């Protein structure tokens, strides 16, 4: 006996319509995903282009500031930090200059100073700051197969310390340097944040002679690109006579980061 087809043409049309709607919905989701992906790639490409431009402009501004440094030094012999405005390709770029001898070297900083830095500037609780300082001291003191202590080659190495997050590094990075291999901290050259950790008043009497004579300097250029603000940072040794390259400075360390990202 033959079975009758109980599905009416109307039911078949309804099923076909539902199938079409599902296909349209799936295609819409795929399209939305592709559009978002393209937008993200365009934004990343734009940011990469801005970073390259900011790097070039920042380096040019720092070179101009380094050339002006002898004049700045004579005009502001007692200032721990100097801020100047430079002009490059029609852009006004601010450059901050400070002595490296007044910054904290994580290779030599005592446990107490590291703890105060992590608490006051890093935003950690007192207990967490003490624990992190202890971890840094233990990590830098570990002896490798060569029989030499590990040490901190560049401040970014601290990210290898267990529990040391990038957020914490971003908060304290401006106070750190490994470009000057010295255990002495020149408080006459220290920024207010470091002086506060030591319980000292900014620009206490004493003279900034050590600071004025120090050739080790940090130049920080702030560059605006669109709605994004970049910082180009160079630790340099600035001399009074040119080197073989003809320049009056030698770059010790260079880095760049986004200070204020666009929304």
Which is nearest to 254 in space by CA: 44, 63, 88, 49? 63
pLDDT at 39: 66
Examine the pLDDT at 91 and tell me if it is beyond 50: yes
Which of 133-142, 149-158, 193-202, 230-239 has the least mean pLDDT? 193-202
Across-strand partners of 95?
A: 84, 221
Residues 159 and 215 in one domain: no
Could you tell me the sign of the dihedral formed by the alpha carbons of 24, 30, 33, 38, in that order?
Answer: negative
Count the neighbouring beta carbons within 10 Å of the beta carbon of residue 204: 10
Residues 189 and 250 in one domain: yes
Which of 18-32, 48-62, 107-121, 185-199 has the least mean pLDDT? 18-32
| Range 82-98 average pLDDT | 89
Residues 143 and 196 in one domain: no
User: Per the domain annotation, does 37 fall within a domain?
Assistant: no
Residues 120 and 89 in one domain: no
User: Per the domain annotation, does 36 fall within a domain?
Assistant: no
Beta strand ranges found along 120-243 (DSSP E):
216-225, 228-238
| Range 134-156 average pLDDT | 91
Contact 172, 122 (CB under 8 A): yes
pLDDT at 255: 87
pLDDT at 40: 61
Number of domains observed in the structure of the chain: 2
**Confidence label for 141 from pLDDT (cuts 50, 70 and 90):** very high
Residues 197 and 258 in one domain: yes
User: Per the domain annotation, does 10 fall within a domain?
Assistant: no
CA–CA dist 253, 154 (Å, integer): 8
Residues 125 and 155 in one domain: yes
User: Per the domain annotation, does 48 fall within a domain?
Assistant: no
How would you list the strands of the sheet with 249-260, edge to edge?
81-88, 91-99, 216-225, 228-238, 249-260
pLDDT at 77: 73
pLDDT at 207: 44
Examine the pLDDT at 169 and tell me if it is beyond 50: yes
Angle 43-48-49 (CA atoms, 0-180°, nearest 5)?
Answer: 95
pLDDT at 210: 45
| Range 108-117 average pLDDT | 95
**HSE of 124, CA atoms in CB hemisphere, 13 A:** 23
| Residue 56, both tokens | 């070039």
User: Per the domain annotation, does 232 fall within a domain?
Assistant: yes
pLDDT at 44: 56
CA–CA dist 106, 100 (Å, integer): 13
Q: CB under 8 Å to 68, separation ≥6 — which residues? A: 84
**Confidence label for 163 from pLDDT (cuts 50, 70 and 90):** very high
Examine the pLDDT at 107 and tell me if it is beyond 90: yes
pLDDT at 123: 94
Over its C-alpha atoms, the chain yields an Rg (Å, rounded) of: 28
**Confidence label for 6 from pLDDT (cuts 50, 70 and 90):** low
Residues 73 and 186 in one domain: yes
Examine the pLDDT at 46 and tell me if it is beyond 60: yes
pLDDT at 140: 95
Residues 161 and 250 in one domain: no
Examine the pLDDT at 25 and tell me if it is beyond 60: yes
- Per-residue pLDDT tens for 207-231? 444 444 788 999 999 998 878 889 9
Residues 184 and 239 in one domain: yes
| Residue 243, both tokens | 């080197």
User: Per the domain annotation, does 31 fall within a domain?
Assistant: no
Residues 97 and 181 in one domain: yes
CA–CA dist 96, 174 (Å, integer): 12
Q: Among all chains, which residue has been given the structure tokens 């050739």? A: 215
User: Per the domain annotation, does 159 fall within a domain?
Assistant: yes
Q: Among all chains, which residue has been given the structure tokens 């840094």? A: 136
Examine the pLDDT at 205 and tell me if it is beyond 50: no
Residues 115 and 97 in one domain: no
User: Per the domain annotation, does 257 fall within a domain?
Assistant: yes
Residues 136 and 235 in one domain: no
Domain stops at, among 151, 172, 193: 172
Domain containing 258 equals 60-103+177-204+211-262
Examine the pLDDT at 183 and tell me if it is beyond 60: yes
| Range 93-109 average pLDDT | 94
Helix (H) or strand (E) holding 68: helix 9-75
């Amino acid at each position: 006996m033959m079975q009758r087809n109980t599905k009416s043409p109307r039911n078949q049309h309804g099923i076909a319509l539902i199938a079409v709607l599902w296909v349209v919905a799936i295609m819409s989701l795929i399209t939305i995903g592709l559009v978002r992906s393209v937008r993200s790639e365009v934004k990343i490409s734009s940011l990469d282009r801005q970073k390259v431009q900011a790097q070039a402009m920042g380096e040019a501004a720092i070179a101009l500031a380094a050339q002006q440094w002898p004049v700045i030094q004579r005009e502001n012999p007692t200032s721990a930090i100097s801020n100047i405005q430079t002009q490059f390709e029609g852009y006004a770029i601010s450059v901050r200059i400070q002595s490296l001898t007044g910054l904290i070297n994580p290779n030599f900083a005592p446990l107490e100073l590291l703890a105060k830095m992590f608490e006051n500037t890093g935003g950690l609780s007192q207990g967490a700051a003490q624990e992190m300082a202890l971890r840094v001291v233990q990590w830098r003191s570990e002896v490798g197969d060569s029989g030499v202590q590990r040490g901190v080659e560049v401040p970014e190495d601290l990210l290898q310390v267990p529990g040391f997050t990038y957020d914490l590094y971003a908060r304290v990075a401006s106070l750190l340097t490994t470009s000057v291999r010295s255990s002495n901290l020149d408080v006459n050259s220290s920024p207010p944040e470091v002086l506060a950790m030591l319980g000292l008043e900014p620009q206490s009497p004493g003279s900034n002679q050590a600071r004025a004579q120090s050739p080790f300097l940090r130049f920080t250029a702030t560059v605006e690109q669109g709605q994004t603000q970049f910082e180009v940072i160079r630790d340099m040794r600035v001399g009074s006579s040119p080197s073989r390259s003809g320049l009056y400075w030698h770059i010790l360390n260079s880095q760049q980061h986004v200070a204020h990202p666009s929304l």
